[in-house]
Amino acid sequence: MMVEQDYYELLGVPRGADDAAIKAAYRKMAKECHPDRHGGCPDQEARFKAVSEAYDVLKDPQKRAAYDRFGKDAFRNGGGHDPFAEGGFNGFSDIFSTIFGEFMDPRGQRQNAARGADLRYDLELTLEQAFGGTEKTITIEALATCETCDGRGCTRLDRCANTCQTCNGAGKVRAQQGFFVVERGCPTCRGSGEVITDPCRTCHGEGRALTQRKLSVKIPAGVDEGTRIRVTGEGEAGVRGAARGDLYIFVHMKRHPLYERDGTTLVAECPISFTTAALGGAINLPGIDGQKVEIKIPSGIQSGEQLRHRGGGMSILNGRGRGDLVARILVETPTRMSAKQKKLLEEFRETETGDECPAAKGFFTRVRDMFGG
């Protein structure tokens, strides 16, 4: 099982975006998450590297074509090297042949046509499940190996398929259109090159039938909105025993009642009274791991300031450690007060010199200067 972040989603562009849109999106994202702007924050550094990797692929037409067809698998040949370098694809001719090989190699096309389709499943998780990882049982309705004929496509145990007479076993037929010769899948054998003479009544010769099945999937800790998990060989069954497709699970996050998530950082908006802001104090937050997190409030804190608790955030996907928990302070002014409270505040106001609030003092000094003193 493999966890992948889609390059297009990382940059925030649609799959059909042009080069200018991709470049503009990269510049914006790189500026936002550059480590120098965040004091060397490891979360932002990892995000910056991921964005740069996505741009490096999508800005190159050949790499982008390979990624659109094969995803990150296109760059894992030769131990993760560039597919267009030695050890991967042998230059543009090979990648062209791989992508458009159905027009050149009938045998390869037969295999591609018979392979089962990939499937997509959208999975919704809570923040707690994403933090610790979980195992989910999902129900998939898709073409699976026919139980009646055990995937053979015919009722007999011996061979019951003959070479297709329309395409002579190539799985392709050609049609002349002006100066061009166009190839398409054979309509008789549907690209397999063979015709079943005694087809199974359940699957009508395909060797697969629509069924529902349950699948247990392990979700690693640290997944986020848009994370893509590839489960190899759990897609649709291939025609008459051909290779199965893959299952792609796309993660979606439920809204949390307390925390907002920014990568591996958890942010909570924490309203405090103006007396706590003035005198200082502490608040307790329920950690995402179930442990209590104490946030100390320094005296004189202002609304909008952020207090960071290191290591209190989300798990790092495919890595070690955790992000941070951030308490964003919101100073709340009381809307209802007793007569005693009002009297105490009046007494406090009589003792004010203006130095207690330097920002306000500076502001009104500038206002007086604009009015000529």
> Residue 223 to residues 27, 125, 205, 253: CA-CA distances in angstroms?
25, 9, 41, 9
Burial of 206 (0-12, 13-18, 19+ CB in 10 A): buried
Task: Specify binding-site residues for Zn(2+).
Answer: 146, 149, 164, 167, 186, 189, 200, 203
Q: What is the pLDDT of residues 183-226, one digit of tens each?
A: 887 888 777 788 888 888 888 888 888 899 999 999 999 999 98
The residue type at 261: R
Sheet containing 259-262: order of strands: 259-262, 265-273, 325-332, 306-309
pLDDT surpassing 70 at residue 147: yes
Mean of pLDDT values over 35-60: 81
pTM score:
0.61
The residue type at 42: P
CA angle 193, 102, 163 (to 5 degrees): 10
**pLDDT averaged over every residue in the chain:** 83
Model pLDDT, residue 20: 86
Question: Among the listed ranges 88-102, 276-290, 319-333, which one has the minimum average pLDDT value?
Answer: 88-102
Model pLDDT, residue 111: 42
pLDDT surpassing 70 at residue 295: yes
pLDDT surpassing 70 at residue 327: yes
Task: Specify binding-site residues.
Answer: 146, 149, 164, 167, 186, 189, 200, 203
Model pLDDT, residue 198: 83
Question: Among the listed ranges 39-48, 58-67, 123-132, which one has the minimum average pLDDT value?
Answer: 39-48
**196 DSSP assignment:** E
Higher pLDDT: 360 or 265? It is: 265
CB atoms within 10 A of CB 335: 5
**Domains in the chain, ordered, with CATH?**
259-370 (2.60.260.20)
Bridge partners for 246 per DSSP: none
Q: Which two three-digit tokens encode residue 202? A: 């359940």
Residue 164: pLDDT band with limits 50, 70, 90 = confident
Residue 41: pLDDT band with limits 50, 70, 90 = confident
- Please check whether residue 113 is in contact with residue 101, taking contact to mean a CB–CB distance below 8 angstroms: no
What is the separation of C-alpha 329 from the centre of its chain, rounded to a whole number of angstroms? Answer: 30
Model pLDDT, residue 170: 84
Look at residues 330, 346, 349 and name the one whose alpha carbon lies nearest to residue 338. 346
Model pLDDT, residue 50: 86
